[in-house]
Amino acid sequence: MAIQHTMEQRLEQLAERRAAVEAGGGEKRIEKQHAQGKMSARERLAALLDEGSFQEDGAFRRNRTTTFGMDKADMPADGVVTGSGSVLGRPVHFASQDFTVMGGSAGEAHSIKVTEALKASLMTGTPFVFINDSGGARVQEGIDSLSGYGKVFYANVLLSGAVPQISIIAGPCAGGAAYSPALTDFIIQTRKAHMFITGPGVIKQVTGEEVTQDDLGGADAHMGRSGVVHFVADDDEQAILIAKKLLSFLPQNNTEDAPIVDPDFVVEPNEKLRDILPVESNKGYDVRDVIREVVDHADFLEVQAGWAQNIVVGFGRIVGRSVGIIANQPSVMSGVLDIDSSDKASKFVRFCNAFNIPVVNLVDVPGFLPGVAQEHNGIIRHGAKMLYAYSAATVPKITVVLRKAYGGAYLAMCSKDLGADKVFAWPTAEIAVMGAEGAANVVFRREIEAAEDSDAKRAEMVEEYRETFSTPYMAASRGLVDDIIDPADTRRQIALALELLSAKRELRPAKKHGLGPA
């Protein structure tokens, strides 16, 4: 005879089972996480999500593998917490790997849960946040584990350009697992985490090279050398704060605009902007000083701040509207464009275009970096990415030439010919094929060689070239600059242009996709 259970008994059983799931790998393993300065999977979600908004999916999902003792393994939620909630009042979907459950290893059910959460994100048009803390593929599940990774990668690509994807690397992320973050839009890595395809042990065995985990796949290595990560956080708490701030600048999906947030309506002339550029045209300065005077509340979220520092990219707001800012950095390598800065800028422009975020370009660029290594490593191919990204972008594009804008680099920083909707120039702008010194040696070579005092003649010719071509007035006379403005009026001019261009519509030829430089 079947035993009948009352509703109260069934609810008690449910509570017990849910408590077991929420306990993850148990107190001792959670304490070990804390001892390492890391949060548990659920603690991270509690810090990320608005209070009371957490809704879990698949809490009672279990693996179906029976080999190698897996039929007896206790793996609450199969080592990953998935579901939905809200961040700053806006819905998100998430996955948070639980290192206390079998090292957060990814098996079949684990990866299917992540894939289902990704697809729910796409279906509802909500951003996806994936918190990575995993020992890698669950070896006991063999090919099923690898298949799970493939499903996650495929879903990452489906979401790409449709909803924002943010990865937080909060623990180990090795082997195939590293490719899911690489397919997302932004990676935030803590200094307690490591990410690599092959670890130090395998590298030593195969190549004989010895390297520490930090030097190989630590956050600083990926920021300063590889350019893989976009933000570095000291710990889980800071990583989550960065994710929240980043989400505040972004729309929910590619069919929406970013929200208007805390607009600063003050656009009166700002005389501080007149004093930032040095008198000497060959002297560096920090372009972030310009950015902070232009954006609302001096609030600028720089992306990949430690990589390719000769260009600065990041998010700000102007009168409440999110904008992506791309600016040459004269204090680093004189602001030249090279392979890494071209990759950094072009990827950022493509993200902004995918998610309807206008781009503002602050130009002070002497050219592309010359050198054998740059040529042999493909500066042509990489530099072309900037030309492609700007030309393909249909969002509002506003360019302000602060000082130097020479040669192909002038074009690559979103000139009028690459589709800039508005181009402003400060009176200090020098827009030319090359700098006056180099140009005079080419244009006036015979006159200089024939002169009795060649040095004096060269100086004279340099000044003549500078007065004729190295000014914004020649470009303005050709319609390549819309207006020459007082630096103090920069914020107001950009704000007016953004308001006008908010209704911009631009049709492009019908095609599957373009074939940009790889």
> Which sequence positions are flagged as catalytic?
175-176, 408-409
Which amino acid is located at 332 in the chain? Answer: V
> Percent helix, strand, coil in the chain (nearest 5)?
45, 20, 35
Tokens of 197: 């395809």
The three-state secondary structure class of 426 is coil
DSSP 289-330: HHHHHHSGGG--EEESTTSSTTEEEEEEEETTEEEEEEEE-T
Burial 98-109, CB ≥16 within 10 A → b, else e: bbbbbbbbbbbb
Strand order in the sheet with 128-132: 55-57, 80-87, 90-97, 128-132, 165-169, 186-190, 231-233
How do beta strands 90-97 and 80-87 pair? Answer: antiparallel
Which amino acid is located at 131 in the chain? Answer: I
Cβ within 8 Å of residue 466, ≥6 positions away: 430, 436
Residue 190: its H or E element: strand 186-190
Cα-based distances in Å from 252 to 48, 359, 381: 16, 18, 33
C-alpha 332 chain-centroid distance: 20
Bridge partner list, 302: 314
The three-state secondary structure class of 355 is coil
Give the integer Cα–Cα distance in Å for 43 and 24. Answer: 11
Radius of gyration of the chain from Cα atoms? 27
Give the integer Cα–Cα distance in Å for 387 and 410. Answer: 10
Burial class (CB in 10 A: 0-12, 13-18, 19+), 209: exposed
Q: Which long-range contacts (CB under 8 A, 24 or more apart) does 288-293 make?
A: 288/312, 288/327, 288/329, 290/327, 290/362, 290/402, 290/490, 291/316, 291/325, 291/327, 291/362, 293/490, 293/491
Cβ–Cβ under 8 Å, residues 152 and 118? yes
The structure tokens 């609030």 sit at: 299
Cβ–Cβ under 8 Å, residues 431 and 481? yes
Give the integer Cα–Cα distance in Å for 14 and 3. Answer: 17
Tokens of 233: 């956080």
Could you give phi then psi for residue 180, rounded to 5 degrees?
-65, -50
